[in-house]
Amino acid sequence: MNQPCRVGCLLLMLGPISYFAATQARPFPGPDVKQIYDRLLPQIEKIPAFDHHAHPGYADDPDIDAMAAPPDASLPLRTRDDNPELVDAAKALFGYPYTDFSPEHAKWLIDKKAELRKQHPGAAYFDSILDKLNLETSVANRAMMADYLDPKRFLWVFFADSFMWPFNNEHETARNPDEGVFIPLQEKMLHRWMQQENIPKLPVKFSDYLEFIVRVLADNQKKGAIAMKFEVAYFRPTTFSDPPRTQAEDIYQRYVSGAVPSEQEYRIFQDYIFRFLVGLGGRLHLPVHIHSAVGIGDYFNLSQSNIMNLESVLRDPRYHSTTFVMIHGGYPLEREAIWLAAMKNVYLDSSFGELVQYPSAFKQTLKMWLETFPDKITFGTDCFPYNQVLGAEESYWLGVQSSRTALAAALAEMVSEGEITESRALELAHGYLHDTAAKLYEGRMH
Ligand SMILES: [Zn+2]
């Protein structure tokens, strides 16, 4: 039996399932698409969402990320702090009465936020922001958690990259100006983990180094962490070889006391540690989040960090018990990326896609994903403070609004084109905005 026939027979066997529309799908939406959108959007706005990737916190908080924006980085149009949509954000969240952010107008917003922080002291302020946005829960992907974020609403995802940079990093730091910013921050992060575990200096033995890594992960989990995150694409290519432990051990012993490894030796060591961490994620039930899109900084190398480089790791049966979340869904390679979600343990997060693209373009991404593996995609904002005036609050708002409107539009087209029913559209909306992500951490949330 050839393949198309088998697929056809299978469809016949399935028969009329309620969430498929009754007729063959059409290539264009009908004139009803706007009405369907208008019906879906208010219902989608009522779904309490789970933000699967975000950096909540105040602009002056250095723990918002384990790295920092490189100086003078080129920012794509919509992510700039002069995006006029941010006026709408300030209006919706704080009743901002102006149409620009001139210094005297911006002062109104700074004062207003200060007043609200007094009214909602401690963790209540950011809880109130989540409430305004109908976000039930948000990941806090941060270097360390902040005491002003409510651990019941904000779930910590820590950074695991720094374990890959324990040696003398003078070559790594000198590669370009961006690495000059990033790598010292990785060294700082590693030292913070050492302090956490009361280790004054790196162990001489490789087995003790691996034991130290296990302890950090387990302790972070005890402190409430729900996942580990890699932003390794910022620091090196994401092609990972599969060296034996003896090779990594030999490199560790030769360089742990301060000599400078060659680039090749460093990469081999890192390849081993990366795979060790990925394996640990399975053993400890700690999902692995991986930055999989372009990144900030003019030296970010997209071809060397292409999401498809990770295919050999994601499809490796040794890691079948590790849950992978591909943060930013491989953007701008999201079309290829969705096929990685064929793996039962691989999920795609759409964050950043909805901030860098306008809803008309982001809608296409969501539609294509919803038509392929709808049960493997999750919502996130990637919110991040813009500056001292415009904070994570406005960024959250833009991410939430863009995602909900693009989702409603994508689903409205699918309904109008005869692909799915309206009730199925709402099921898909619940899955994407909340249920699929929440399920990954069931029993591990507070
Ligand atoms: Zn992020």
Spacing, Cα 144 to ligand 1 middle (Å): 14
Return d(Cα 118, Cα 144) in angstroms, integer: 24
Q: 411 CB contacts (<8 Å, ≥6 apart)?
A: 36, 40, 44, 370, 420, 425, 428, 429
Spacing, Cα 433 to ligand 1 middle (Å): 17
Spacing, Cα 74 to ligand 1 middle (Å): 17
In what side-by-side order are the strands of the sheet with 49-51? 49-51, 135-141, 154-159, 227-230, 288-291, 324-327, 346-349, 377-378
The pLDDT value recorded for residue 19 is 60
Spacing, Cα 371 to ligand 1 middle (Å): 26
What tokens does 162 get? Answer: 């720094």
Spacing, Cα 70 to ligand 1 middle (Å): 15
Determine the distance from the C-alpha atom of residue 338 to the mean position of all C-alpha atoms in its chain, rounded to a whole number.
15
Spacing, Cα 242 to ligand 1 middle (Å): 27
Q: What is the pLDDT along the chain (446 residues), one digit of tens a residue?
A: 344 444 444 444 444 455 666 689 999 999 999 999 999 999 999 999 999 999 999 999 999 988 888 888 999 999 999 999 999 999 999 999 999 999 999 999 999 999 999 999 999 999 999 999 999 999 999 999 999 999 999 999 999 999 999 999 999 999 999 999 999 999 999 999 999 999 999 999 999 999 999 999 999 999 999 999 999 999 999 999 999 999 999 999 999 999 999 999 999 999 999 999 999 999 999 999 999 999 999 999 999 999 999 999 999 999 999 999 999 999 999 999 999 999 999 999 999 999 999 999 999 999 999 999 999 999 999 999 999 999 999 999 999 999 999 999 999 999 999 999 999 999 999 999 999 999 999 977 65
Spacing, Cα 417 to ligand 1 middle (Å): 34
Spacing, Cα 429 to ligand 1 middle (Å): 22
Spacing, Cα 352 to ligand 1 middle (Å): 8
Spacing, Cα 71 to ligand 1 middle (Å): 18
Query: Rounded to 5 degrees, what are φ and ψ at 378?
Result: -135, 155
Spacing, Cα 229 to ligand 1 middle (Å): 10
Closest CA to 377 of 126, 26, 52, 19: 52
pTM confidence score: 0.94
The pLDDT value recorded for residue 396 is 98
Spacing, Cα 383 to ligand 1 middle (Å): 7
Spacing, Cα 333 to ligand 1 middle (Å): 17
Spacing, Cα 198 to ligand 1 middle (Å): 29
Spacing, Cα 155 to ligand 1 middle (Å): 14
Spacing, Cα 329 to ligand 1 middle (Å): 12
Spacing, Cα 66 to ligand 1 middle (Å): 10
Spacing, Cα 15 to ligand 1 middle (Å): 43
Spacing, Cα 382 to ligand 1 middle (Å): 5
What tokens does 136 get? Answer: 């039930």
Residue the block writes with tokens 């904070």 = 391
The pLDDT value recorded for residue 443 is 77
Residue the block writes with tokens 């920012």 = 75
Spacing, Cα 54 to ligand 1 middle (Å): 6
Long-range contacts: 238-241, Cβ < 8 Å, 24+?
A: 238/304, 238/305, 238/306, 238/307, 238/309, 238/310, 239/304, 239/309, 240/271, 240/274, 240/275, 240/309, 240/310, 240/312, 240/313, 241/267, 241/268, 241/271
Spacing, Cα 141 to ligand 1 middle (Å): 7
Spacing, Cα 55 to ligand 1 middle (Å): 6
The pLDDT value recorded for residue 23 is 80
Return d(Cα 369, Cα 132) in angstroms, integer: 28
Spacing, Cα 327 to ligand 1 middle (Å): 8
Spacing, Cα 75 to ligand 1 middle (Å): 15
Spacing, Cα 197 to ligand 1 middle (Å): 26
Return d(Cα 66, Cα 182) in angstroms, integer: 9
Spacing, Cα 153 to ligand 1 middle (Å): 18
The pLDDT value recorded for residue 8 is 44
The pLDDT value recorded for residue 7 is 46
Spacing, Cα 386 to ligand 1 middle (Å): 13
Looking at residue 67, the DSSP 8-state letter turns out to be S
The pLDDT value recorded for residue 21 is 63
Spacing, Cα 2 to ligand 1 middle (Å): 45
Q: Where are the alpha helices (DSSP H) in 160-299?
A: 170-174, 177-196, 206-222, 245-255, 263-283
Peptide bond preceding 332 in cis form (omega within 30 of 0): yes
Considering only the C-alpha atoms of the chain, give the largest distance between any 2 of them, rounded to a whole number of Å: 73
